[in-house]
Amino acid sequence: LVSRDFHPRNTIVKVCDVPVGEGKRPVVVAGPCAVESEEQILKTARAVKKAGADMLRGGAFKPRTGPHTFQGLREEGLRLLALAREETGLPVVTEVMSPDTVGLVAEYADLMQVGARNMQNFELLKELGRIRKPVLLKRGMSATLEEFLAAAEYILAEGNPHVILCERGIRTFETATRNTLDLAVVPLIRELSHLPVMIDPSHATGKRSLVPPMAKAALIAGAHGILLEVHPEPDKAMSDGPQSLTFHGFESLMDEIRRLNTFL
Ligand code: PEP
Ligand code: MN
């Protein structure tokens, strides 16, 4: 079902009124790694909206490596995202970690994110296949492209065709970057599949200074959009501060993207 052989035309996934995969203009999703407070998410939502973002991201349920770190505000985080959407009009993207919270997250989210760690949580994928909300499926950190597409197939097979694929870097021998951005999968996915593809240069690099060049490279490679972490005070972020852009950094990148768009 995910194959281009089966479906030659590009799929366009509509998230509220934002089309992803149309290929006219890349979609920019921006916001903090985690929703931390009302002030933090509202400030960020206003700033990214003003700079031209199409959607707001923010984790309420966080898949943290260890159990003693901030795990997210959970339902309260979802409520704060809805508040930010109400004020800015930006659709919201947030992660769902388990099949039993799909219903709850779907009450608030416009785009349901499956994180890298859950790419092969098959019960979660099947549950997301049974709802009609769009899904942002991130590539597992050691998943082959074939496994990535097979994971998407689970969602489509249950009846939900609204899937966006997201490359977020994979584990290699290299330790200088948090992950290794596998940029070649962008044109390869576009050859093999009709589904839209996005890049997350924040998790792919782990380093703020590398985010703008990799974001631009993603768009040149043909990505339909990018997912970026932005925080009002990255040094004080409860997760992923080192890879989060400041408001100023995000505005500069958006200016560069607008200039780049005239060539795409
Ligand atoms: C995230 O988007 O904050 C996240 C946890 O991403 P990933 O699942 O790609 O690590
Ligand atoms: Mn993060």
What pLDDT does 225 receive? 98
Pocket test for ligand 1, best of 33, 138, 211, 240 (most atoms within 8 A of CB): 138
Q: Tell me the CATH number of domain 13-19+27-59+71-258, given options 3.20.20.70, 3.40.930.10, 1.10.1490.10, 3.30.70.1450.
A: 3.20.20.70
d(C-alpha 163, C-alpha 177), whole Å: 28
Task: Please give all residues whose CB falls under 5 A of ion ligand 2, grouped by chain where several chains appear.
Answer: 33, 240
Query: Residue 218's closest CA among 206, 202, 230, 234?
Result: 202
Is there a contact between 13 and 165 (Cβ–Cβ < 8 Å)?
Answer: no
Instruction: Measure 6 CA to ligand 1 centroid, in angstroms.
Output: 30
Residue 264 has pLDDT above 90, yes or no: no
Instruction: Measure 250 CA to ligand 1 centroid, in angstroms.
Output: 19
Q: Indicate which residue's Cα is closest to atom 9 of ligand 1.
A: 116
pLDDT tens string 101-142: 999 999 999 999 999 999 999 999 999 999 989 999 999 999
Whether the model pTM is above 0.95:
yes
Domain boundaries, given as residue ranges, for the chain: 13-19+27-59+71-258
Residue 262: pLDDT band with limits 50, 70, 90? confident
d(C-alpha 240, C-alpha 178), whole Å: 11
Q: Indicate which residue's Cα is closest to atom 3 of ligand 1.
A: 33
pLDDT tens string 154-202: 999 999 999 999 999 999 999 999 999 999 999 999 999 999 999 999 9
